[in-house]
Amino acid sequence: MIFTLVIGLVLALLLGMLAQRLRLSPLVGYLLAGMLAAQPWWGHPVDRHVVEEFSHIGVVLLLFGVGLQFHFKDLLAVRKVAVPGALICMTLWTGTGAIAYYFLGGADWVTAALFGMCICVSSTVVLTRVLEDNHLLHTPAGHTALGWLVVEDIFTIVLLVLLPVMFGGEPLGPALGWMAVKLTLMVFCVAYLGKYVISRVLTYIARSNSNELFTLAVLVCALGIAVLSSYVFNASMEFGAFLSGMVVGQSRFASRAASDALPMRDAFAVLFFVSVGMGFDAMGLVEHWPLALGTLALTLFFKPLSSYAVIRLLRRPGRLGVIVGTSLSQIGEFSFILAALVAGTYKVMPWSAVNVITGVAIITITLNAALYRFVPSLIRAMEERGIGVAPQQPGHLIPPPAEDRDRVIVVGHGPCGELMTDILRSYDVDVVIIEMNIDTVVALQKKGVNAMHGDARLRSILSLAGVEKSQAIIVTSAAAPAQEIAEAACSLNPAISVMAHTRYMQNARRMRAEGTADVYSGEEEVALTMVGSLLRRFDATEEQVFNARKEARKKLEKVPTRTV
């Protein structure tokens, strides 16, 4: 057993690091590690069943982590797009996948439908990583994609609940009714345990100041409720783990539980992906190449195109459709979980179909990160040609600036942008807001504020905002491409003053060197604010604080910065 785990984990570490180095998802490395571990090269048999047993713990902890980080408020914030969009697209993808499997895989419609359900969900790990690497995770588009994934996660949980009922061998009607009763009872029991037992136990253990005991308590909550759901309520362990994660996630210990549980989850989840890779047969993929090719085309082309079409039908900008659609063009961990349950536990789907899903997942996860690098260029080319850009309504055209008032363009209407707008308007400055969130734009326009939807990098958008006759443009969002916006604004109005907020010192230094803007870096300002706060704690005068911040700023200008 130890030999098997060491081989699997060492290969996963090495290939995961290699994948990271190549700017791919580490999941690719873990899957390849499993494929290599299954080869007879090690002088000692590698027991796949041992890895599978440990990987099941990883699946339970994976669902516990999903429950821990699950918040309905995140879904409600993007409900107008994420909920209908995800439901429509999952229906389309399931139907298309079922048709592909029925005609290319040669099976009945029930198996085909299950195959379609397995490939209609995307990988949370891959999507989050891709959005984070491209600085889109904390943007409206990133929030929409995450909300979309929440709907897919709920769909997966519902399937995990229904599978034992659908294939338990009992009449479906009574079985569904009895299962509903048991699940309701289970939810109430877990909620009661969470409110009156788990919370008090965690409070008591937290007061002991023992990190080991608290970590053990979190692990017991995750695995204990998972086992309880299986043996007492005849539900899946995964659903029980999800419920326990939700209970702990709503308590005051949510952050600490996440910091303790997620490393354990990641460690065991690695073994899950290794076990999936160990079961992969490359020759089997070649043998079923029509189904593999059809599934690959569905995942890489139909999923993003249909996502884009649905988002446009919901009257959202094309930029949002491209970002969300491209991030969903892969399949991952939940596809493996569902496929393994359907093929292994309930024997409804052949392992050759699971092998196809694994092969397509390896390819799509590998390509997703690489293809995403072309998304900004694609969006810019589309918007320059007017594709996917909402036309400006006549009633919302930005009037030309008045001769007796200064005009300032504010890019972004987050907390910083809102504050700057309020200050400028209090001084009777004519403010025009350029914002990528269409809902924010509509709300501002209803209040009579000059706001327009669009990408401030585009000269056409800046011209509509009146940049040629504006005195200044302020980029308030750190996620916005400040340098490109500044260059576009200065090309239309060389006399315009530019103020910009960037995330990193390196970007700020580059813009200052070019003399295009007054730039404020988040890294610099946080450091300087901390210096001032620290000195005030030691009763320094404001003059001393001012001088210290001045010296600190000079030192920061000499500090080498990392490449971004």
Q: Is the pLDDT of residue 275 over 50?
A: yes
Asked if pLDDT for residue 458 goes beyond 80, the answer is: yes
Whether residues 68 and 206 fall in one domain: yes
Q: Are residues 422 and 356 in the same domain?
A: no
Give the closest residue to 378 by CA, choosing from 436, 319, 422.
Answer: 319
Indicate if 175 and 267 belong to the same structural domain: yes
**Residue 6 burial (C-beta neighbours within 10 Å; 0-12, 13-18, 19+):** exposed
b/e per residue 164-191 (b: at least 16 CB within 10 A)? bbbbeeeeeeebeeebeeebeebeebbe
Q: Among the listed ranges 38-42, 170-174, 264-268, 388-392, which one has the minimum average pLDDT value? A: 388-392
pLDDT at 390: 55
Mean pLDDT of 66-94: 81
Q: Which of 70-79, 120-129, 387-396 has the lowest mean pLDDT?
A: 387-396
The verdict on 378 and 398 lying in the same domain is no
Q: What is the CATH number of the domain that holds 527?
A: 3.40.50.720
**Among 121-125, 229-233, 439-443, 500-504, the range of highest mean pLDDT:** 439-443
Within a domain: 563:
no
Residues 109 and 180 in one domain: yes
Q: CB within 8 A of 179, min separation 6: which ones?
A: 161, 162, 164, 165, 234, 235
Q: At which of 351, 382, 413 does a domain end?
A: 382
As a whole number, mean pLDDT of residues 272-297 equals: 85
Are 77 and 138 contained in the same domain? yes
- Give how many domains the chain has, as a whole number: 2
**pLDDT of amino acid 554:** 78
Give the 3-state secondary structure percentages of the chain, helix then strand then coil, rounded to 5. 70, 5, 25
State the residue range of the domain holding 110. 2-382
CA distances from 327 to 128, 294, 311, 407 (A): 9, 20, 14, 38
Query: Other C-beta atoms within 10 Å of 73: how many?
Result: 6
Q: Does residue 388 belong to any structural domain of this protein?
A: no
**Least confident interval from 157-166, 321-330, 425-434, 441-450:** 157-166
Q: What is the pLDDT of residue 393?
A: 47
Tell me which of 382, 417, 440 is where a domain ends.
382
Please report the pLDDT score of residue 389 as a whole number.
61
Tell me: pLDDT of 563 over 50: no
Residue 391 has pLDDT above 60, yes or no: no
Beta-sheet pairing, 497-502 with 518-521? parallel
**What ranges in 78-139 are assigned the alpha helix state H?**
79-104, 109-119, 124-133
pLDDT tens digits for range 130-154: 787 777 766 777 878 878 887 887 7
449 falls in which pLDDT band (50, 70, 90)?
confident
Judge whether residue 21 has pLDDT over 60.
yes
For residues 320, 323, 327, 328, the Cα torsion angle rounded to the nearest 10 degrees is: 40
Is the Cα torsion angle 104, 109, 111, 115 positive or negative in sign?
Answer: positive
**Cβ atoms of residues 328 and 123 within 8 Å:** no
Give yes or no for a contact between 198 and 221, defined as CB atoms under 8 angstroms apart: yes
